[in-house]
Amino acid sequence: MAQPQMRKPIESGIPENTKFLHPLLAKNYGNWKYHDRPRPGVLHHVAHGGDEVWTVRAGTQRQMDVYTIRKLCDIADQYAEGRVRFTIRSNIEFMVSTAAKVDPLIAKLEAEGFPVGGTGNSVTMISHTQGWLHCDIPGTDASGVVKSLMDELYDEFRREEMPNRVHLSTSCCEINCGGQADIAIIIQHTKPPKINHDQVANVCERPSVVARCPVAAIRPALVNGKPSLEVDEAKCICCGACFPPCPPMQINDPENSKLAIWVGGKNSNARGKPTFMKMVAAGLPNNPNRWPEVAAVVKKILNVYKEDGRPWERLSDWVERIGWPRFFEKCDLPFTKYLIDDWRGARVNLNASTHIRF
């Protein structure tokens, strides 16, 4: 039988974006003068030539069914001007050319269940991963964690009442696909992988699994007469790096895979240099369907920051001012020995000074 004729891909790369731009964005491309925010969720940009464009930003569930997509398209066609864009945090933006179109658009979006906000000093949408819905190595879910938390942070999304913008992320394993954030929620494994020795030889390329381990805790071994791998459990740091290349080394554990909270990641160069986030809480249960223990810690940190942060202080700037001892005290979080870094380069995180706040 003849092979069916296969279509060769058109290797076009990314398309030119000009035809997708709102006409005013295309017209004033590279020629914007300033912007302000007439209200939370709305950006107002003014071009050097005098053109103005209003952007209304709304939250979405990111994982969208086609009916939701069509609903957003209907809103864009009826209340905006047929163009939308998405932010890096899966908010949708509608651009309109007159101020008069802003309020009806907001009313329609909110009536259809899309909260308007996420601009300026708000808590914006959580950047997140795939979780149980689609990932092959998840320790927890992503969309459900985000839905639960955003339900609780709904008002903060729709207001601009924080000292500065707040970016959140969630990640369902320590690879941290959700990324750096002011507050990040990340799975933290606490036990070495459980190995299914019957499968290792068939499924895993053993030398590359050995090489993957950051602490050289994995070695080849013969188990029950079969070639397999074994883990020096005293050395193992439970990072899970062996699990993707070798699924029989199961790292996810319904009881012992916990959640940790990290704070102070900032990619912007504004004020201080960019910073990595730091672990401040761990051992929280992976507790679907609403992860209440995690939400309680996140909300506590947010509330203290909101109360105590000064204008323009990102979470990292605020902690830099008040110091870590007071951060842990104010947020009612235990500073345990596990929060003292001992990984490569850890000495830069030790206090090599007498700068101590009493």
Partner 1 sequence: MAKQLHPTPMLDALESGPWPSFVTGLKRLAADKDIAVDLLGQLETSYMTRKGYWKGGTVGVFGYGGGVIPRFTELKGADEQPIFKDAAEFHTIRIMPPAGMHYDTDTLRKFADIWERHGSGLIAFHGQSGDIMFQGCTTEAVQPAWDEINEMGFDMGGAGPAVRTAMSCVGAARCEQSCYDEAKVHRAVTNAFTDDLHRPSLPYKFKFKFSGCPNDCMNSIQRADMAVIGTWRDNIRTDEALVRAYFAKHGMTDLVNDVVARCPSKAIQVKEADKVKTGATISSVKVNDTHALEIENRDCVRCMQCINVITGGLAPGKDKGATILVGGKRTLKIGDLMGTVVVPFIKLDTDEGVESLVELTQSMIDFFAENALEHERTGEMIERIGLVNYLEGLGLEIDPAMVSAPRTNPYVRMDGWDEEVAKINAKKSA
Within 10 angstroms of residue 353's Cβ, the number of other Cβ atoms is 6
| Cα–Cα distance, 60 to 117 (Å, whole number) | 11
Q: Which long-range CB contacts under 8 A does 253-257 form with residues at least 24 apart?
A: 253/189, 253/190, 253/191, 253/194, 254/286, 256/189, 256/190, 256/191, 257/139, 257/140, 257/187, 257/188, 257/189, 257/190, 257/286
Radius of gyration of the chain (CA): 24
Contact flags string 236-275 toward partner 1, x per CB under 8 A: ---x-x-----x----x-xx-x-------x-xxxxxx-x-
**Residue 6 binding partner 1, by CB under 8 A:** yes
- The footprint of partner 1 on residues 128-187 (CB under 8 A) is 128-141, 143-144, 147-148, 150-151, 154, 174-180
| Residue listed under structure tokens 């996140």 | 298
Nearest of 318, 328, 344, 323 to residue 280 by alpha carbon: 328
CA distances to 1, 28, 39, 191 from 244, rounded to whole Å, are 39, 47, 45, 16
Name the residue nearer to partner 1 (CB basis): 194 or 332. 194
- In the bound state with partner 1, the residue whose beta carbon lies nearer, of 83 and 331, is 83
Residues 99-118 that bind partner 1 (CB under 8 A): 113-115
Selected from 25, 166, 236, 284, the binder of partner 1 by CB under 8 A is 25
Positive or negative, the CA dihedral 281, 283, 289, 292 is negative
> Minimal distance in Å, beta carbon 209 to partner 1?
11
Provide the β-strand partners of residue 183: 168, 263
Nearer to partner 1, 108 or 130 (CB): 130
Judged by DSSP in three states, 230 sits in strand
In whole angstroms, the minimum distance from the beta carbon of 340 to partner 1 comes to 15
Q: Which of 39, 51, 52, 68 binds partner 1 (CB under 8 A)?
A: 68
**In the complex, least distance from residue 259 CB atom to partner 1, rounded to whole angstroms:** 12
Least CB distance from residue 252 to partner 1, whole Å? Answer: 6
Give the range of 219-227, 294-302, 321-329, 337-345 binding partner 1 by CB under 8 A.
337-345
Based on the shown chain and the rule CB under 8 A, indicate whether residue 72 belongs to the binding site for partner 1.
yes
Q: Which stretch binds partner 1 (CB under 8 A): 62-70, 97-105, 189-197, 327-335?
A: 62-70
Q: Decide: is 50 part of the binding site for partner 1 (CB under 8 A).
A: no
Give the residue carrying structure tokens 């950051």.
214
Residue number with CB closer to partner 1 (239 or 280)? 239
Q: How far is the CB of 220 from partner 1 (least distance, A)?
A: 17
Q: Is 350 in the site for partner 1 (CB under 8 A)?
A: no
The partner residues of 116 in beta bridges, in order of sequence, read 58
- Cα–Cα distance, 319 to 272 (Å, whole number): 12
| Run of H or E including 261 | strand 257-263
Q: How many angstroms separate the CA atoms of 166 and 184, rounded?
A: 11
Q: How big is the CA angle at 301 (ends 298 and 306), to the nearest 5 degrees?
A: 120
Size of interface with partner 1, in residues (CB under 8 A): 117
User: Which two tokens mark 87?
Assistant: 């932010």
Residue 206 in contact with partner 1, rule: CB under 8 A: no
Query: Which lies closer to partner 1 via its Cβ, residue 171 or residue 228?
Result: 171
- Residues in 82-101 at the binding interface with partner 1, rule: CB under 8 A: 82-88, 90, 92, 95
If the CB atoms of residues 243 and 305 are measured against partner 1, the closer one turns out to be 243
- Which residue lies nearer to partner 1 by CB, 274 or 283? 274
Closest to partner 1 by CB, 2 vs 356, is 2
What is the nearest approach in angstroms of partner 1 to the Cβ of residue 357?
A: 19
User: Considering the complex, what minimum distance in angstroms separates the CB of residue 325 from partner 1?
Assistant: 23
